A and B are shown apart, each in its own frame.
Chain A
Amino acid sequence: MEQIFFFYFAFVIAATSMLVVAMRNPVYSALALLIMFFHVAGLYVTLHAEFLAAVQIIVYAGAILVLYLFVVMLLNLKQDDRYHRQWPMAAAVGVTLFVEAIILTVMRGWTAPLVATGTETTVGEAGNTEAIGDVLYSTYLFPFEVASLILLVAMIGAIVLAKKDLSEVNSEG
């Protein structure tokens, strides 16, 4: 049963991620990415990461993708050539990476299997959200504060960048 769910989610994720790259219209690409985000959230549920599944839908599908769609519609793009002039070189790099990935996948039996050490914080019986909160506010408190700083910098940066030229505004006002 789990395998059926996994293969369904994996198939949709792989197919929609290719659609994101292949679609000519950016709006269709963004909508394909939306479907992919929902299926990644489903995959998280099968992996017992319910909190992340909810956050995935709220943050990615609810905030990030809406921002993309706003910008796509704001810029009112005309459709034109999908690929730029350097595509033969890019395709060569891509094919190399792809072959490398296949070789590594085939060779995976040659490495020793990973063993869980058991000293880490276990995903508690108390529930996924509680376990994450427990670790986030104790072990990872400093990274958590740094993350809030990153968000502050991004917020200020977005406002400064998207604003019209500051000196112009000052001289007008």
Chain B
Amino acid sequence: MTVPLSYYLVLSGIVFLTGVMGVLLRRNIIIILLSVELMLNATNINFVAFSQYFHDVAGQVFVFFALTVAAAEVAVGLAIIVALYRAKSTINVDEFQLLKW
């Protein structure tokens, strides 16, 4: 592997930080979920890079499981968004203050 491992780690760090910023900054719940996908993808890049580096296929198996969890998260998350939109006809996180005191 001519590309050093650290390059992959830096790339995945950048993508993960972008995802964190998206979750913290945006108002739209859909964009927040997309940012969570970004973070999951960053960890997947890490897993695959380490799998190649250690010549261990277990990292790729874990990416497989992360993919499963991502699919489940999207299905449930989008169902919650649809239910929220039905209740308040908005999906901005500012508007949902039921649990705030």
Contacts of B55 in A (CB 8 A): 116, 118, 120, 122-123
The reply to whether A154 and B51 contact each other, CB–CB distance below 8 Å, is no
Instruction: Give B44 Cβ to nearest chain A Cβ, in Å.
Output: 7
The reply to whether A84 and B94 contact each other, CB–CB distance below 8 Å, is yes
Contacts of A164 in B (CB 8 A): 86
Instruction: Give B26 Cβ to nearest chain A Cβ, in Å.
Output: 6
Contact flags B79-101 to A (C-beta < 8 A → 1, else 0) = 11111011000011110000000
Q: Which of B15-29 contact A (CB under 8 A)?
A: 15, 17-22, 24-28
Instruction: Give B84 Cβ to nearest chain A Cβ, in Å.
Output: 10
The reply to whether A43 and B27 contact each other, CB–CB distance below 8 Å, is no
A77 to B31, CA, bound (A): 12
Majority secondary structure, B binding face: helix
Question: A23 — nearest CB in chain B belongs to which residue?
Answer: B31
Contact pick for B79, options A21, A47, A87, A158, CB 8 Å: A158
Contact flags B52-73 to A (C-beta < 8 A → 1, else 0) = 1111111011011101111111
A18 to B31, CA, bound (A): 12
Contacts of B81 in A (CB 8 A): 71, 75
Residue count of chain B within 8 Å CB distance of chain A:
68
Q: Which residues of B contact A (CB under 8 A)?
A: 1-3, 6-7, 10-11, 13-15, 17-22, 24-28, 30-31, 33-35, 37-38, 41, 44-45, 48-49, 51-58, 60-61, 63-65, 67-76, 78-83, 85-86, 91-94
Q: Which residues of A contact B (CB under 8 A)?
A: 2-3, 6, 10, 13-14, 17-18, 20-21, 26, 29-30, 33, 36-37, 40, 43-44, 46-49, 51-52, 55-56, 59-60, 63-64, 67-68, 71-72, 74-75, 77, 80-85, 87, 90-91, 93-94, 97-98, 101, 105, 108, 114, 116-118, 120-124, 128, 131-132, 134-136, 139-140, 143, 147, 150-151, 153-155, 157-162, 164
